[in-house]
Amino acid sequence: MKENIFDVLMYLFENYMEDEVEILPDSDVIKVELEEAGFESCEVSKAFDWLESLSLQRAIKPSASVAFRIFCAEEQAKLDIECRNLIMFLEHNGILTPANREIVIDRAMALENEEISMEKLKWIVLMVLLSQPNEEIAFSRMEDIVYDLVPTYLH
């Protein structure tokens, strides 16, 4: 099986994170389940490291009310123009805060050997919003975008 870290993250999101499960098994049980499902232990460990880093993200306190984001060369290489435009669109429309935007970029960059497509980026945004407190409305709006529930036209 040639799965990567993102595939493991998607499996975890779909099976453990998205539903509000009252009692989650501990991480060792989940890791064993993932390995039994065919994921390589190295990729499973990297996915758990990615999630742990996500949970450790501190809220960034912006010092200016009006600012713009310049992507460095490494970010531009990892995130094509469509991905960068999506990030800016989400921030402009209030789905991402500047702090959450930075976390999304950080988590995308942390997927070292991954090519980040628009679809992958949408899922990264969804995972970031799920991990942040008080982002239920933004999560719901992003979920509509991910699952293509946004109407193609507005009245």
Instruction: Among 56, 77, 102, give the residue marking a domain's end.
Output: 56
| 2: amino acid identity, one letter | K
Over the chain, what HEC string results? CCCCHHHHHHHHHHHHHCCCCCCCCCHHHHHHHHHHCCCCHHHHHHHHHHHHHHHCCCCCCCCCCCCCCCCCHHHHHHCCHHHHHHHHHHHHCCCCCHHHHHHHHHHHHHCCCCCCCHHHHHHHHHHHHHHCCCCHHHHHHHHHHHCCCCCCCCC
Domain stop point among 56, 74, 95: 56
The pLDDT of residue 31 is 85
Judge if 15 and 72 occupy the same domain. no
**pTM of the full predicted structure?**
0.79
pLDDT of residue 21: 46
Pick from 104, 99, 102: which is nearest to 142 by CA?
104
Q: What pLDDT does 1 receive?
A: 45
User: Do residues 85 and 101 share a domain?
Assistant: yes
Per the structure, the complete domain to which residue 38 belongs is given by 1-56
Do 95 and 30 share a structural domain? no
Looking at residue 3, its pLDDT comes to 65
68 and 44 in one domain? no
What domain count does the chain have?
2
| Same domain assignment for residues 42 and 104 | no
Task: Give the per-residue pLDDT at 69.
Answer: 86
Regions of the chain where pLDDT drops below 50: 1, 21-23, 155
